[in-house]
Amino acid sequence: MLLLNNEDVKRLLTMEVTLEALEEAYQQLARGEAVCRPRMDIQIPTKDPNKVYVWGTMDGGSSVSGYCAIRMKSDIVYEQEYAGVRTREKYCVKPGLFCGLILLLAVENGEPLALLNDGYLQHMRVGGDAGIGVKYMAREDSRVIGMFGSGGMARTYAEAICLVRKIERIQVFSPTQAHREEYSREMSHKLGLEVVPVDHPEEVYAGADLIAGCTDSNLPLIQGKWLRPGMHIVYVGGGLDEAGLRRVDVSLKLGTAQAPAGHPELRLPDLSLAYVALPQSEPRRHQRSLQQSRERNHGVIAEDRVVYLEDLLAGRAQGRRSPRDITYSARGNIQGAQFFSVAGKVYELAKAQGLGREIPTEWFLQDIRD
């Protein structure tokens, strides 16, 4: 069994590999060759009334790739306000540390194959979704990205989008000037194009063809009043306000997790499902956490205008209908498929290149039947 840390994954995983793995997985889901569940969260109050413990899992597997995987997260979650923006923060043990793991297994014999840190892979798979959405929905002549955020997701979003469109300029805003300037220098060098920090949020939209929201904001960030015809919208945090939602002409969803066998009524569009410990003695202190879940669990955007990737690929539906359409794309609740597909590719590359730390597989096996 291989133990792969974030540095190993970073050496192995390119955005090209990520995009290929994700598209393969989504096609397998559409054909019924793969399966996944929505993200499942368990929320438990802590002794601090402002913080909640969240155990999150998402899993899936494929008969084609022969891999199954579960991604596990252990987070202390809380809110804070900075520069007028309310954000959702998290940590494990102490601020600045996080616990996210991917367990990869073999479908044919159940063997545990690898245990991976999820950090770098997480950024890549989320950025890959943006690239796929842009590939199928954005105008071919899109050249300018308007970017909200300057963290890891903003980096992988830009990288993925640049692989599917001939981007010439990125204009970026984040609340901290030093962060947006650092992002501009780094991404200009990495991508070989003009990256410009802007001082006000509305400047992100000026001349932009693509609007990307890559923040941890709990509140709507992308403003409908600043959108113009022909734009494509992607985001992982800091969503659309009501005016923006009304202006979306076509919304692309990359997939929806299957219903449990025999229960078609349980096929839900929600990005995650939460099971909450809510003591009767203190019902109010946990309500904010429940509200956080609802705010970020947006499911289907513009449901009456949505098309699905499987229908686009099969020619059963049309995406962008005109150069003036404002379009939007998002993954849906198929995170589990991302982890078996991308982690499987990383495992194969690690075996081929001799990377990772080998640990005895027998440590994870036993002779007592469970």
Please give the Cα distance from 27 to 19 (Å, whole number). 12
The confidence score (pLDDT) of residue 295 equals 44
Q: Copy the structure tokens of residue 109.
A: 């014999």
Rg of the chain, C-alpha, whole Å: 21
User: What 8-state DSSP symbol labels residue 264?
Assistant: G
The confidence score (pLDDT) of residue 217 equals 76
Specify whether domain 139-255+298-330 bears CATH 3.30.460.80: no
> DSSP H helical segments within the chain, as ranges?
6-12, 15-31, 119-137, 152-164, 177-191, 242-247, 287-296, 309-313, 335-353
Return the SS3 of 156: helix
Residue-range domain boundaries for the chain = 2-122+271-289+334-362, 139-255+298-330
Whether 159 and 191 have beta carbons less than 8 Å apart is answered as yes
The confidence score (pLDDT) of residue 184 equals 97
Q: How far is CA 247 from the centre of its chain?
A: 23
- Strands 39-45, 67-82: pairing is unpaired
Q: How many helices (H) and strands (E) does the chain have?
A: 9, 18
Cβ–Cβ contacts within 10 Å for residue 284, how many?
Answer: 8
What DSSP line would sit under 73-104, residue for residue? EEEEEEEEEETTEEEEEEEBSBTT--EEEEEE
Whether 339 and 346 have beta carbons less than 8 Å apart is answered as no
What DSSP line would sit under 238-300, residue for residue? S-B-HHHHHH-SEEEE---PPPPTT-GGG----SEEEEE---TT-SSTTHHHHHHHHHH---S
Please give the Cα distance from 186 to 68 (Å, whole number). 36
CB-count exposure of residue 275 (10 Å: 0-12, 13-18, 19+): exposed
Return the SS3 of 22: helix
CB-count exposure of residue 282 (10 Å: 0-12, 13-18, 19+): exposed
The confidence score (pLDDT) of residue 299 equals 57
Fold of 2-122+271-289+334-362: ornithine cyclodeaminase, domain 1 (3.30.1780)
Cβ–Cβ contacts within 10 Å for residue 259, how many?
Answer: 12
Please give the Cα distance from 20 to 14 (Å, whole number). 10
Spell out the per-residue pLDDT of the chain, length 370, in tens: 999 999 999 999 999 999 999 999 999 999 999 999 999 999 999 999 999 999 999 999 999 999 999 999 999 999 888 766 777 899 999 999 999 999 999 999 999 999 999 999 999 999 999 999 999 999 999 999 999 999 999 999 999 999 999 999 999 999 999 999 999 999 999 999 999 999 999 999 999 999 999 987 777 889 999 999 999 999 987 789 999 999 999 999 999 999 899 999 888 888 888 999 976 655 555 555 544 444 445 556 777 899 999 999 999 999 999 999 999 999 999 999 999 999 999 999 999 999 999 999 999 999 999 8
Nearest to 225 by CA among 208, 207, 209, 241: 241
Whether 239 and 257 have beta carbons less than 8 Å apart is answered as no
To the nearest 10°, the Cα dihedral for 288, 120, 37, 298? 40
